[in-house]
Homo-oligomer: A and B are copies of this chain.
Amino acid sequence: MKLYSFFRSSASYRVRIALALKGLHYETISVPMRDNSHRSESYRKVNPQMRLPALALDDGNVLIQSLAIVEYLDEVYPEPRLLPADPIERAQVRAVAQIISCDIHPLNNTGTRGMLTSKFGADEKALNEWTAYWIHEGFNSIERLLQPGPYAFGDAITLADLCIVPQVYNAHRYNVPLDDYRKILAVDASARQHPAFAAAAPEAQPDAA
């Protein structure tokens, strides 16, 4: 497998954690977002959406969208399971993952921040306030939805943890204070102690700055 990834892309980070947890070997193909490589015609042939990540399977299929990729990996390589067996618990885990991947991250990613600057003249301060607003909106609700730890939904790592850790990383990057989110911070601290999370971290990637 080949993962089109960028060290700082938090959607790529989610998939890297899944691959590491399941012990799957893959080649990293770096797509440096800082020079807009993800918007190139050559990358468009890999992923028509021109976003990261994309996972190229050995049979030639290319999968896109981080949560769809993680669910695929969980279905084909079920050990360890990233979704509980019970349908209601699965829905609860997916809801937390989707609060982050639908309602926080797309509002704050590189493309959106760029559009806010070009279209509305947003400066660094305004961008950071905007970013913080969506993180607080999402984290306030997630803080109410988490269950006793050490992970987001108990003893087993789930898709929710794969989304929380990269989003906490992003919050730190933009200096968003997280003191109100004691449960989220505890989940982040527990998960980052796991070797798979460490292997997937931005600073551990071959293309880290």
CB of A193 closer than 8 Å to a CB of B: no
Which residue from chain B places its CB closest to the CB of A87 in the assembled complex?
B75
Q: Report the Cα distance A65→B95, complex, angstroms.
A: 5
Within 8 A of B (CB), among A118-174: 119-122, 126, 129-130, 133, 138, 140-141, 144-145
Copies of this chain assembled into the complex: 2
Asked if residues A49 and B106 are in contact (CB atoms below 8 Å), the reply is: no
The stretch that binds B, out of A1-9, A24-32, A66-74, is: A66-74
- Main SS at interface, chain A: helix
Instruction: Number of A interface residues at 8 Å Cβ cutoff, please give it.
Output: 47
Chain A residues engaging chain B, CB cutoff 8 angstroms: 48-51, 57, 61, 63-65, 67-69, 71-72, 75-76, 87-88, 90-92, 94-95, 98-99, 101-103, 105-107, 112, 115-116, 119-122, 126, 129-130, 133, 138, 140-141, 144-145
